[in-house]
Structure 1
Amino acid sequence: MRLFVGDDWAEDHHDVEVMDAAGRRLGRARLPEGVAGMARLHTMIGELIGELIGDDADEAEVLVGIETDRGPWVRALVAAGYTVLAVNPLQAARFRDRLGVSGAKSDAGDAHVLADMARTHAHELRPVAGDSAQIEAVKVVARTHKTLIWERTRHTQRLRHALRDYFPAALAAFDDLDAADTLELLGKAPTPAQAARLTIAQISAALKRARRKNIAEKAAAVQAALRAEHLGQPEVVAAAYAASVQALIAVLNVLDTQVKALQRQVDAYFGQHPAAEIILSQPGLGSVLGARVLAEFGDDPDRYATAKARKNYAGTSPITRASGKKKVALARFIHNDRLIDALLTQAFSALRFSPGARTYYDTQRARGSGHNAALRQLANRLVGILHGCLKTGTLYNETTAWSHHITSTAA
C-alpha cells in the first residue's frame, strides 16, 4: 500500500495533504515547523495507515513530495523511513497549470499538487539523496566559503565604482583593490588630498607588509599616480565618498579574514572524507575546489546510476532540441550554479596540468567550438572520468582517462 503526501513548506509552517493511490484525499492539515509539527505528521500518517490496513503497517510505503531537498525537516522525513521526492518549483508550477487554468494558487492547493505529482510521477522525480553527515558538513563550510568570496568580489566592485566617481587616481595607482596594501593605504588616505601627501616611506611600509617585490619601484609608481592631476569632486562630496569607502574597506578586511579562516575549515573537513584522495587525484582540483565539487555532487553511492546521470545533474551535458528535420544541441541553463562554477574552473585549471585535457580542448577548438563551449565539453568529459573513479574507488590515471580519445585522434 502507498500513501502520497504533498508538503508545501514555509518558514514557520507546512501545509500537507495525504492522498491514496486512487487520488482520493485522506486528510490535510497545517503543521508548525519543528518537532511538534513532525510529531503531528507522524501521528496523522500512522492513524491513516491504521484505518486502511490495520496491523500490517510495515506493508505501507509513504512518498512525500516537497520543493526542497535539505534542511532539518527533510532529514527528519528521511530518518522516519519516508521516500522524499525533491520537486523543482518550476516542475510544480507546470503541473499546477495542468490541473487548472484559472491561475488560482494557495498553500493548500500547492500541497494537493505535490501529493498528486508524487502519486502519478514518482518514477520521474528525484529521491532525496542519502548523503552522509560528513559530506553535509563539507557542504556547509564549502558553500559559506564560496559565498564570502562572492561577497568580497561584490564589495570590491562597489569600492571600484566609488573611487571612479571621486578618486580616479586611486584606480591608476592600485591594480588590486582588494589587496592588503591597497586597503591599508586607502584606509589611511581615502581622499585625493590625503593620498597626495603619502610619503614613499609610508607606501613602502604598506607594500613590505603585503610582501610585495620591487618595493622601491612600486612605491615610486604609486606615489606618482596619486599625485598626478585627475578630475575630482568638491571637497565636501569627496569627504562623503571617503566615509563610504572607509566603511567598504572595513567590510573587505573582515571578509578577507573570514575567507582565510573558512578555507582552513574547508581543508580540515574535506581532508577527513574518504573520497578526498580520489577527488584530489583529478586534474585541476585542489582541496578547496575539490571540496566544492564533492559537496555539490554528494556522496550517496546510489544517486548517480551512470556517468550520464552525473553529467546531467552537473549541467555540463548538452540538451537536444529536435523538431522535424531540425536538430540542435544547446547548453543547459538550468543547473546547480555552484557546481557548474567549480567544474568550469577545474576544466580551465586542467589545461595546465593534464596533457590529455589540453589535447581534448584543442581538438574541440579545431572543430570550431568557442572557448566557453570547448571548456564546457572538457568539463563534461572530466565529470565522466570522476564518476568512473568514484564508482571503482580508483585514483585518476592520465593514460587510462584519455586513452580512447588519444587513440581516436591518432586514427
Structure 2
Amino acid sequence: MNHQVGEGRRMRGRRWWAGIDWSADSQHVVIVDDDGAIVTHLVVEESKKGVDEILAALRALNPTSHTFSRRQVPIAIEDGNRLLVAELRRRNQPVVLVPPTVTARYRGRHAAAVSKSDRGDAALLANILRQTPGRRTPLPDTTDEAAAIAVLARAQCTAAADARELATRLRSHLALYYPAAAHAWAQMDHGLRRPEALAVLALAPTPRQAAALTKRKIYDTLATAGRIRLLDSEAERLRDLFQKPQLRQRPATETVMGERTRLHVTELQLARHHAEQLAELTDRAFAQHPHYPTYRSFPGAGPLLAARIFAELGDDPARFTTARALRSYAGTAPITWSSGTSHTVVHRKVCNRALKTAVHRWAFSTLTRSPGCRALYDARRERGDRHAAALRHVGNRLLSGLHHCLRTNEPYQEDGMFPAPEQGTD
C-alpha cells in the first residue's frame, strides 16, 4: 500500500513533453518524460481520428491523478499552419512552434554521429521543450478574426512581392531588345508596374511598333490606363523616346521577343490585380476589428502597413506583457555583447523578419508625418547613427507607444508620445 502511495506521489510530480514531426502522409508523435526517455510513440493521420489518438495518449500519461490534465503537456511542432495544429488549438491543447533552424542546431548535441528520422525528430522537438521550458511559449491565443486578417495581409504582401519580381524580370527582358521601354518609366514610382506602362507595352511590345505610334495614339492609351495629369507632355515624351535611333535585334528575333513581352505584361497585370484585390479585402476585414482605430491613429500607419503589423502581432492581450518584449520580437531592441573589457551593442537579427521590415517602413514613413519622429531621427543621426540605426530608434518609440495605446485603448497622441521639454524657472 505504501509503495502504491509513493508511486502515486511520484507520478503526480512527473512532467511530460511531446513533439510532432509532420509529413504529407503521417505524423510521428513522441512523448518524453523528465529524463528525456521516450514513453510513447504514435504514428497518426492528419485527421480528427489522429487528433483524438494524440489527446488520448496525453490523458493516459497519469490516469490516477485528479489534478493532471493533458493541457499540462505542451506539444512542439515546426509548422504552425498545419490543420493538425488548428484542431489541437481548437481543443485548447498548448502547441509550441519550434523553427526548423532551432531543431537543426539541437540535432548534433546528443550524439557524435548526427542522424535523422521521423521518430528521432519528434523526440528531439519534445526534448527541446524539456530542456528549455521557460523559453518556449505556446502559440498566442489570437481570435479567428485576427487570424483571418493575418492570412489576407500576408497573402497581399506575397502578391505585391510577386509583382515586383515580375517587373524586374520584364525590365531585364526589355533591356535585351527594347532599351527605350526598359528606361521609359524608370524614374517614376512603381516603374514598369504602372498601369500606363503596361498599357503602352501591350500596345507596342517591339521597338518597331513603338516607333510607329503617333502622339495621339499614345495620348489615348495613357488616358485609358488612368493617367490624368500632363497627358500631352507625357505622350510627346514617349513618342520622341521611341523614335530615337537605338540598337535593335534582327527582325524575326525582335518579333518573338515582343511576344514574350506580351506574356510578361499579362502576368504582371494579373499580379497587380491580385495585389489590389487582396489589399481591398485586407483593409475591409481589418476595419471591422476593435484594434483598427488604434493602429490607424498612428502617423504613417496606412491601411496596408497597419494590417501587416497587426498580422504579426495578433490580438492576444497576454502575448506581450511589456513593451520591451514587443520590441525584442520586432527586432528593434538592441542586443549587448559584453565579455571582459569588450562591450558591444548590436542590432537584433533573431526576430520576426516580416514585422521588422514593416516597422522599418513604418518608421521611415513617419519622418514626414510626425514632428516628434523626425526630431528623434535627426537627433540620432547627429549622434552618429546611420540611417537604419536611427530608424530602429524611431521604430522602438513607435512600438512602445503602440503597446501603451493597445493596453489603455487610447488613440495616438503626438504630445503624449513626444512631450515638450519643461521650461526652467528663474
Question: Which bin holds the TM-score, normalised by the shorter protein?
Answer: over 0.9
> Contact 1:181–1:206 (CA<8 Å) still a contact in 2?
yes
Cα distance change on mapping 1:173 and 1:60 into 2, 3 Å: closer
Greater shift, 365-374 or 81-90, is seen at 81-90
The 5 A counterparts of 1:162-177 are 162-175=173-186, 176-177=191-192
* Equivalent residue, structure 1, for 2:376: 360
Greater shift, 169-178 or 278-287, is seen at 169-178
Greater shift, 151-160 or 375-384, is seen at 375-384
Identical aligned pairs, as a percentage?
Answer: 32
* Equivalent residue, structure 1, for 2:213: 198
1:125 aligns with 2:136: yes
* Equivalent residue, structure 2, for 1:47: 60
1:102 aligns with 2:113: yes
Letter in 2 for 1:89: P
* Equivalent residue, structure 1, for 2:396: 380
Q: How far off its partner does 1:55 sit?
A: 6.1
Q: How far off its partner does 1:194 sit?
A: 0.9
Distance 1:112 1:300 in 2: 30
From 199, 217, 224, the counterpart of 2:233: 217
From 16, 22, 25, the counterpart of 1:12: 25
Distance 2:71 2:204 in 1: 71
Distance 1:409 1:327 in 2: 36
The 5 A counterparts of 1:328-347 are 328-347=344-363
Distance 1:279 1:164 in 2: 42
Structure 1's consecutive aligned runs of 4 or more residues displaced over 6 angstroms after TM superposition are none
Distance 1:120 1:70 in 2: 25
Q: How far off its partner does 1:44 sit?
A: 2.4
Q: How far off its partner does 1:76 sit?
A: 1.9
1:186 aligns with 2:201: yes
The 5 A counterparts of 1:154-169 are 154-169=165-180
Bigger fraction of residues in helix: 1
> Contact 1:304–1:310 (CA<8 Å) still a contact in 2?
yes
Letter in 1 for 2:200: L
1:268 aligns with 2:279: no
Cα distance change on mapping 1:402 and 1:109 into 2, 3 Å: same
> Contact 1:320–1:328 (CA<8 Å) still a contact in 2?
yes
Determine helix, strand or coil for the equivalent of 1:18.
strand
Distance 1:384 1:56 in 2: 40
Cα distance change on mapping 1:408 and 1:124 into 2, 3 Å: farther
Determine helix, strand or coil for the equivalent of 2:418.
helix
Determine helix, strand or coil for the equivalent of 2:301.
coil
Q: How far off its partner does 1:85 sit?
A: 1.8
Distance 1:12 1:310 in 2: 37
Q: CA RMSD in A?
A: 2.0
Cα distance change on mapping 1:56 and 1:365 into 2, 3 Å: closer
**Number of aligned positions between the proteins:** 407
Q: How far off its partner does 1:278 sit?
A: 0.7
Greater shift, 355-364 or 5-14, is seen at 5-14
> Contact 2:70–2:93 (CA<8 Å) still a contact in 1?
no
Task: Give the gaps of 5 or more residues in structure 2.
Answer: 1-11
> What does the per-residue CA deviation read over 1:161-192, in whole Å, with 9 as the maximum and x for residues that have no partner?
01111100113433421111211111121111
Distance 2:41 2:69 in 1: 23
Cα distance change on mapping 1:312 and 1:247 into 2, 3 Å: same
Cα distance change on mapping 1:185 and 1:70 into 2, 3 Å: same
Letter in 2 for 1:261: Q
